Amino acid sequence: MQKMSYFSPLLFVCLDVCVLKVISLAQLSPLLLPRPFLTLWGGGLIRAGLLTSLAFTYPGSLPWMSSFAGLQSTAVLCFHLPAYTTLLWVLGKPVVEELWGWHSWQRALQGYIVTVVAWLYWSKYVSSLLLSWGRYASSLFTKTPCEKPKEDTGGPLKRLIGYMMPFLWRFITVLFLVILSSYGEMAVPQYTGRVADWIMNEEAPEAFTDAITVMALMTIGSAVLEFVCDLMYNITMSRIHMSVQGVVFQAVLKQEIAFFDSTSTGELVSRITTDTNEMSEALSEKLSLVMWYTARFGFLLYFMVSQSWKITLLTCMGLPIIWVIPKLTGHCSQMIAVKVQDSLAKANQVATETFSCMKTVKSFANEDGETERYRQRLDDTYALNKMEAAAYATTTWANSMTTLALKIGILYYGGTLVTRGSVSSGDLVSFVLYELQFASAVEAVMHYYPAVKKAVGASEKIFEYLDRKPQVPPDGTLAPENLEGHIQFKNVRFSYSGSTDEKNLVLKDVSLEMKPGQITALVGLNRSGKSTCVKLLERFYQPQAGEILLDGKPLQSYTDQFLHDQIAVVSQDCVLFARSIRENIKYGCKNASDEEMYTAAKQASAHEFILELPNKYDTDAGEKGGQVSGGQRQRIAIARALIRRPKILILDNATSDLDTENEYQVNQALLNQSNNCSVLMISNKMSVVEKADYIIVLNDGMVEEEGVHGELLKKQGLYAELVKKQDMSFHRKQEKGDE
């Protein structure tokens, strides 16, 4: 590998100086003597060409020299003087000195300083700003031909702008107010300068009064505009925040159940609340600051240039230096601060270790030894603290010294211009006032702009959910008036992970049938796949193979609304919402009458206990139904299912939380329902199961046996074993009770 030579910059400068010397001699030739502009631009081109060739062809040149930033700097070095001279010429200013002296060593040195300053600006701050603006502008106005349409729905910034579009007029008004208010604010120093001129010249007393009046009016006016603007902006941003939160919430609700299995509730809530809050706070606060400071920066620059473009140039050249020096010293104090933290952590470690092993320390009588060890650690921290204090003082000193140096430079140079009569004393006063605000305005824009960018970037996380397409098949179209409730599983294979590997399958070729109007029981050992069958019936997941038919038609062909109106599920872990019992029973069935609600509650044996509650049906169920007992919760959930008059009722251990008497009542009521609908019952209580018209026994994801109670008992298989086990445990419990 070619070794890099750090002499290459020196070689670069030597070549440049030689080229300049040759051009200065060539300019005296009869051919070029009458054409100074040709020499100026031609010389610039030759310089740029030779320096670029050196950067690309010299084997030891630094990679930076042939990078984009290097080429940019070469262009600034070679063309800033031709451009500046031409501009002066266009403005009708004298250019003799520039045309004949641009290759002098003073000008060459000045050129290098300008290039370094330009590079500092460009590389650190301006480039990132322009690049992102440029990218955004090009994304708005250009369409790459022949490009395939992308899945991507646009960058987050574009998306956010999409949400802002309905309020476009408000934003335009806000922008207008920002510009107007900033203009008023920034014009005040101009009038201060005029007042200073009046005081010094002691003439035109009415000018003094005028200036004071205008200043007062402008200050009041811009303050009022700022107030209106901030109010309007913040209200608009809150509206946008609300609408983003709303659509994200809606998008999350549309996702498939498997998505909720793999995403924690905390993460979902954090996306909808914390992330959107952070984004909107950053946008409301920081974007507004960027807007204000950019407007101020623009007006400051305008007023400064109109006072004196020469002092403005000096200020702009000095700014990177006053930013760079404190940054370097700041970096140093940051490093020391990290070391202090480490050292403190070590001292704490000694203390923690000592206190946790107190008995050992005491038994060895080593209290003094441990104290000494702790003191040593504290001594290390103290030494670092001293360094930190020195670094802090240096940073503060460097800050004020560089700012002071720039101010002295401006005052000195401004004073020279005042003496020469190029600017008035009042202009210099105005300029100093502008300069005081200028550095902080530029710094504020550079500080807040990345924060806004970060917030926009963070919004990507929020939009991730909006872009996510739910992994559910398209909604069906069937919604027949009459449904019999005939269910068939045909060779259904299913795994939660989506894998078709035999070892991951929860259901393995399950074929079963639920006849209309019958009570079908699904039994089996734990984890045999009973609840999974229910989840597939609810269409929460899709089987990997086989099909599920409802009245002979695939389950997918029915509309989602119809399916969930017809299939009601009451499971052991059903939860209530923190709303009134009335709202809970009528959940998803808002139009049901109170009469229907009472009937459903009576069927679920819930009516009586609800009437005993303090506010009857208007009693709040509390979070997750915490205000009522487990059994009561279960009965309300059953009423919630029954009020829909479903064609298929699924009871997944629905009565397991009830005491024996209530269980009997509720079961009777539920089983009476089977006159109107098909019931699929999952229960561990064989005394309940035996009443079913048909029993299917699942074992490890497969149908092991099926038939009616008597037949299955005779088979002496898994079903008979389950009945026997329950009988034995019942007898054991009874014996314990008797004792």
Within 13 Å and on the Cβ side, how many CA atoms surround 495?
9
C-alpha pair distances (Å), 686 with each of 589, 665, 689: 33, 17, 5
Query: At closest approach, how far in Å is the CB of 260 from ligand ATP?
Result: 9
How many other C-beta atoms can be found within 10 angstroms of the C-beta atom of residue 408? 10
Q: Give the span between the Cα atoms of 533 and 544, in whole angstroms.
A: 13
Q: Give the span between the Cα atoms of 239 and 171, in whole angstroms.
A: 13
Nearer to ligand ATP, 362 or 527 (CB): 527
Nearer to ligand ATP, 178 or 688 (CB): 688
Q: Give the span between the Cα atoms of 284 and 234, in whole angstroms.
A: 6
Nearer to ligand ATP, 360 or 499 (CB): 499
Nearest alpha carbon to residue 698 among 522, 506, 531: 522
Token match 């509730």: residue?
265
Q: Give the span between the Cα atoms of 657 and 653, in whole angstroms.
A: 9
Query: At closest approach, how far in Å is the CB of 680 from ligand ATP?
Result: 12
Query: At closest approach, how far in Å is the CB of 392 from ligand ATP?
Result: 55
Query: At closest approach, how far in Å is the CB of 648 from ligand ATP?
Result: 18
Nearer to ligand ATP, 187 or 548 (CB): 548
Sign for the pseudo-dihedral over CA of 514, 520, 524, 529: positive
Query: At closest approach, how far in Å is the CB of 535 from ligand ATP?
Result: 7
Query: At closest approach, how far in Å is the CB of 533 from ligand ATP?
Result: 7
Nearer to ligand ATP, 537 or 642 (CB): 537
Contacts of 59 (CB under 8 A, 6+ apart): 2
How many other C-beta atoms can be found within 10 angstroms of the C-beta atom of residue 534? 19
Nearest alpha carbon to residue 701 among 551, 489, 553, 410: 489
Q: In b/e form, how buried is each residue of 32-47, taking b as 16+ CB within 10 angstroms?
A: eeeebeebbbbbbebb
Nearer to ligand ATP, 27 or 532 (CB): 532
How big is the CA angle at 266 (ends 260 and 271), to the nearest 5 degrees? Answer: 85
Nearest alpha carbon to residue 681 among 560, 531, 581: 531
CB 373 within 8 A of CB 350: yes
Query: At closest approach, how far in Å is the CB of 545 from ligand ATP?
Result: 17
Query: At closest approach, how far in Å is the CB of 129 from ligand ATP?
Result: 48
Nearer to ligand ATP, 429 or 523 (CB): 523
Nearer to ligand ATP, 98 or 652 (CB): 652
- Our separate counts of H helices and E strands in the chain read 27, 10
Query: At closest approach, how far in Å is the CB of 618 from ligand ATP?
Result: 34
How many other C-beta atoms can be found within 10 angstroms of the C-beta atom of residue 397? 12
272 secondary structure, DSSP code: I
Nearer to ligand ATP, 391 or 522 (CB): 522
Query: At closest approach, how far in Å is the CB of 701 from ligand ATP?
Result: 7
Residue 159: helix, strand or coil by DSSP? helix
Q: Give the span between the Cα atoms of 34 and 100, in whole angstroms.
A: 11
Nearer to ligand ATP, 498 or 626 (CB): 498
Nearer to ligand ATP, 526 or 660 (CB): 526
Nearer to ligand ATP, 504 or 629 (CB): 504
Tokens (6 digits) for 204: 């035109």
Query: At closest approach, how far in Å is the CB of 491 from ligand ATP?
Result: 18
| Footprint of ligand ATP (CB under 6 A) | 261, 496, 506, 524, 526-532
Query: At closest approach, how far in Å is the CB of 231 from ligand ATP?
Result: 49
Residue 126: helix, strand or coil by DSSP? helix
692 secondary structure, DSSP code: S
CB 585 within 8 A of CB 640: yes
